[in-house]
Amino acid sequence: MSNEQKVLIVDDSPSILKMLASCIKGLCNINTAHSGQACLQIAAQFPQPDLILLDVSMPEMDGYEVCKALKSDPVTASIPVIFVTGLQGEKDEEKGLMIGAVDYITKPFRPAIVAARVSTHLTIKLQQDKLNQLAFYDQLTGLYNRHYLMDVAKQKMQAAQQQQHPLWVLMVDVDHFKSINDNHGHSVGDLVLQQVGEALAIDDETAVTARSGGEEFVILFDQCDDEEAFNKAILLLDAIESLDPHKINVTISIGMAKISEQDKDFDSLLKRADIALYKAKENGRNRLELAF
């Protein structure tokens, strides 16, 4: 458990909000909301809460409805919810757990019990976040790994096909990386990959940047037209060329493909980007080639 973790307390009663906040003061950062709608808005914003204490009996939108909405949205589905309620029947507790809550605290509550349960679930959340870090992120660069890339790519592919919006894939390879390792050592090579990865991480909520293996990276972005996509790719070429790790000249080659009717799955789209990358290397490196 970390004091940097965030707990959102949701209750329409200001006195209950104050009491719950006093129970967990010092364990975490605390935010509050007075309604279900406010809870949903706050939960979807970054940085997100690590845990939500949610009152069941609220006007307009009760806690059960709020929890269902949280769990049905991929953005908020992983946030654990503890119901806080005056309802003490077994069916009420069962209902809350069935729709996705991790625990149930009944009123009148004891401060020590609230603190203990919040502490327990914050610890579990921290452990889960660490496991996700190992499962989904590349340990050298901090970017997403290939496993995560393939999962999210399938989702983006399906959304692009259903909604008829663009999806772009960039295959990126560091030029002459073997010679960097041979001439400067693997520790310097790792530093180069870290700096390249940082430069490739596009500051865009729709973009996904992953290290697919070795000196290869894959970038996905959507919701942009051809000119915007091309400009983004050119900016990446310039950003990498401006790097100067250990006074080493570093460049990349990019193969770029846009989803089309011929792409029945993501593997097909990725293969076209890979072919374009091969052409970029054949044509002199430090350049971008578009797939057709």
* Amino acid at site 125: K
Where residue 137 falls (left for φ over 0; alpha for ψ -120 to 50; beta otherwise) is beta
Domain with CATH 3.40.50.2300 in the chain: 6-133
pLDDT for 18 equals 96
From 60, 94, 205, 215, active-site residue = 215
pLDDT for 124 equals 95
Helix (H, G, I), strand (E, B) or coil at 23: helix
pLDDT for 89 equals 65
pLDDT in tens, 152-170: 999 899 888 888 899 999 9
Torsion 17-18-19-22 (CA) sign:
positive
pLDDT for 134 equals 81
> Is 65 known to be catalytic?
no
pLDDT in tens, 52-109: 999 999 998 999 999 999 999 988 999 999 999 887 667 777 888 899 999 999 888 8
CATH classification of 6-133 is 3.40.50.20, yes or no?
no
CA distance 147 to 133: 12
User: Residues of the chain whose pLDDT is less than 70?
Assistant: 1-3, 88-89
What phi and psi values does residue 51 have, to the nearest 5 degrees?
Answer: -160, 145
Q: 146-290: what fold?
A: Alpha-Beta Plaits (3.30.70)
Sequence-separated (6 or more) residues with CB below 8 Å from residue 101? 54, 67, 81, 82, 83
Nearest to 193 by CA among 180, 204, 205: 180
Domain with CATH 3.30.70.270 in the chain: 146-290
CA distance 143 to 146: 10
Model's pTM, two decimal places?
Answer: 0.66
CA distance 60 to 265: 43
Q: Which residue in this structure is represented by tokens 């007075």?
A: 34
Total residues belonging to the chain: 292
Per-position b or e across 37-47, b if 16+ CB within 10 A of its CB: ebbbebbeeee
